[in-house]
Chain A
Amino acid sequence: MKKIGLLSGILATSLLFAACSDDGAEGAGEIEEGKPYVAVVSKGFQHQFWQAVKKGAEEAAEEFDVSITFEGPESESQVDKQIEMLQAALDKKPDAIGFAALDSKAASPLLSEADGKDIPIIAFDSGVDSEIPLATASTDNRAAAALAADKMAEAIGEEGKIALIVHDQTSVTGTDRRDGFKEQIESKYPNIEIVDIQYGAGDHLKSTDAAKAVMQAHPDLKGIFGSNEGSAIGVVNAVNELNKKGKITIIGFDSGKQQLDAIKDGVMTGAVTQNPVGIGYETVKAAVEALDGKELDKVIDTGFYWYDKNNIDDEEIQAAVYQ
């Protein structure tokens, strides 16, 4: 009995704590009576990128006077958890749904269910591989990576050896950025050779060690492309640890404080950023337009920007990057 008392005490305390911190880690937002309700289920939550998407969604909610909820699983491998979130969102009888699928096939029964209830679905980020969503608000990752490849070529004088540190080999963003970069180099810059592609899971530490190994194996390497924040920071760390600042050109992707600092310090040449705030904003805006019965374009390109030392403080860049 004593133990059960103790246990329920612990449980009660932790629930109390959880209840007190109103901006809990899993989801945010609340449904307000009378306003149209858009449930947004994203691919992640804790990463800065998703926080920026959320910010954009909230801005649109404010502007168009709708209420939203925004939630996502802890990691991009938790397909099942995301399905549960989508199910829960459907149970709340939303007027529209914003959804970025981790696994489109796994989500398809629920999407059909929503479709049957005439709930409009707007896909975002890597989108949903299905005919059901009315529109997809996303970054063209291949085109964005091709821009990164052009900038790399320009920085190293269109010749020499380069390598890629990519965040993973299965997700759409990972493969699109890798292939977009690779194809651009192969088709436009015959004198540039990609000597290695390594994967660091977007983990800063693993990406650092991977980039260091690549630099050891190829002492004449001229540049490295890091395909997301963690990968790019890993490359920056590797260059700093091996004292190769200025000898290796680094092109990054996304943003975050360390990447911004590296660009300002000159360790990193520049990076391509998506427009996460724009992704969130366009998703909710499209949902509102769908509710108003407007026709939507199938693909809403939310855009991407190249930023470096020269334009990092511009307004449009500052709105797209996150600290």
Chain B
Amino acid sequence: MNIDTVVNEEKKKLGNSRIPSGAIQQILAFASLIALIIFFSLASGSFLQYSNIIGILLSTAVIGILALGATFVIITGGIDLSVGTVMTLSSVMIGVIVVDGGMPIWVGIVGGILTGALCGLLSGFAIAKLNIPPFIATLAMMMIAKGLALVISSAAPIYFSDHPSFTKISLGSITPGIEVPNAILIFFIMAIIGGIILSKTILGRYNFAIGSNEEATKLSGVNVNFWKMSIYTLAGAFTGVAGVLMAARLNSAQPALGQGYELEAIAAVVIGGTSLSGGKGTIVGTVIGALIMSVLTNGLRIMSIPQEWQTVVVGLVIILAVYADTLRKKD
């Protein structure tokens, strides 16, 4: 049995082919996004202003990139609870390298991304080689990263005030004519990279195969452990990139932040139609999911809805999104 038969078998089991079904979910998510945008523009004249749209996209960048990485992991049927604090560890690492170590900014950026990748690799190792369930392994990584971020920063924020160019990575603009903050461009570039990896490379192929039927994938001769570790490492690298953007936007590395971001990232992935049971998901869906989250938050804030209710609404949207997904599967 080779890998294509595994994938085909799974397609048969689902009753219809994956691509059209994914498309339906995407159209649904996209339609919800448009509906939200129309609703909020009618509710408040401030919503569709150019500066507010830029604000929404900018607030999507960090959670969005975390969600892109999480998409790969969730398609394997796994979960990564460590992305919030690993992102923090990455941003603190940049501070340690650049501010404390006096190295050039690019070394810090590479170091931050590598830190994320290394954490991902360790989680992947614990999951693939030590057979620890992803929930537990990444929960442990969440704590390890949180602790290490405090240790290497001596529990104090690190400021990039002496490196004025650093903040341009997020807030500068290289687009001629219109001012689009770089963080937004980087988010979309990461989405394109993620989309290509997921749909055009062998890693993406095995990613779906492992998520659909890990046992069968293993039997068809695929080194499942190797690919799982690669996938977690890749997700870790995405997390590192989010850490760079976070530090650059805040012009500081804040060791106490980050916890809770993993749940927002997972919510974005799930709203985008990726199944928590694995084997199904798209990058476009995740981008839309992340946008839905930030459009909701921004719109409710602009309407001056009390914060307590904002949280309730976001929770309800997650339920609706996943319910729509299960309904479609039943058909």
Q: Mark B128-160, 1 if CB is under 8 A from A, else 0.
A: 001000000000000000110011001111010
A21-B151, A199-B307, A203-B257 provided; 9 other pairs, C-beta below 8 A?
A23-B154, A48-B156, A75-B259, A204-B252, A205-B250, A208-B250, A213-B297, A216-B55, A242-B51
Contact A257 B157 (CB under 8 A): yes
CA distance A261 to B47 in the complex (A): 32
Question: Is B301 among interface residues, defined by CB-CB distance under 8 A?
Answer: yes
Inter-chain contacts of A210 with B (CB < 8 A):
301
* B146 nearest in chain A by CB position: A74
Inter-chain contacts of B59 with A (CB < 8 A):
205, 209, 212
List B residues 213-264 near A (Cβ within 8 Å): 246, 249-252, 254-257, 259
Contact B55 A51 (CB under 8 A): no
Contact B171 A241 (CB under 8 A): yes
Which listed residue, B47, B51, B155, touches A51 by the CB 8 Å rule?
A: B155
Complex A-B, nearest 10 residue pairs according to Cβ-Cβ distance, in ascending order: A213-B301, A46-B155, A217-B302, A209-B59, A216-B52, A199-B307, A216-B46, A25-B150, A212-B55, A217-B46
* B161 nearest in chain A by CB position: A261
Contact A258 B251 (CB under 8 A): yes
Which listed residue, A3, A209, A212, A219, touches B130 by the CB 8 Å rule?
A: A3
**A196 and B304 contact, Cβ closer than 8 Å, known pairs A205-B62, A237-B249:** yes
Inter-chain contacts of B159 with A (CB < 8 A):
257-258
Contact A46 B256 (CB under 8 A): yes
**A204 and B257 contact, Cβ closer than 8 Å, known pairs A51-B155, A198-B307, A216-B302:** yes
CA distance A216 to B151 in the complex (A): 39
CA distance A242 to B53 in the complex (A): 12
Inter-chain contacts of B252 with A (CB < 8 A):
204, 257-258
Which listed residue, A75, A195, A205, A258, touches B304 by the CB 8 Å rule?
A: A195
Contact B150 A46 (CB under 8 A): yes
CA distance A75 to B304 in the complex (A): 28
State the Cβ distance, A189 to closest chain B Cβ, in Å.
21
Contact B301 A214 (CB under 8 A): yes
Q: Mark A238-275, 1 if CB is under 8 A from B, else 0.
A: 00011000000000000011100100000000000000
Question: Is B2 among interface residues, defined by CB-CB distance under 8 A?
Answer: no
Contact A46 B255 (CB under 8 A): yes
Question: Is B265 among interface residues, defined by CB-CB distance under 8 A?
Answer: no
* A243 nearest in chain B by CB position: B51
State the Cβ distance, A8 to closest chain B Cβ, in Å.
14
CA distance A214 to B52 in the complex (A): 10
CA distance A75 to B250 in the complex (A): 21
List B residues 283-303 near A (Cβ within 8 Å): 294, 297-298, 301-303
State the Cβ distance, A66 to closest chain B Cβ, in Å.
24
Contact A169 B157 (CB under 8 A): no
Question: Is B58 among interface residues, defined by CB-CB distance under 8 A?
Answer: yes
Q: Mark B55-74, 1 if CB is under 8 A from A, else 0.
A: 10011001000000000000
Question: Is A70 among interface residues, defined by CB-CB distance under 8 A?
Answer: no
CA distance A319 to B185 in the complex (A): 43
Question: Is B308 among interface residues, defined by CB-CB distance under 8 A?
Answer: yes
Inter-chain contacts of A48 with B (CB < 8 A):
156-157
CA distance A210 to B297 in the complex (A): 9
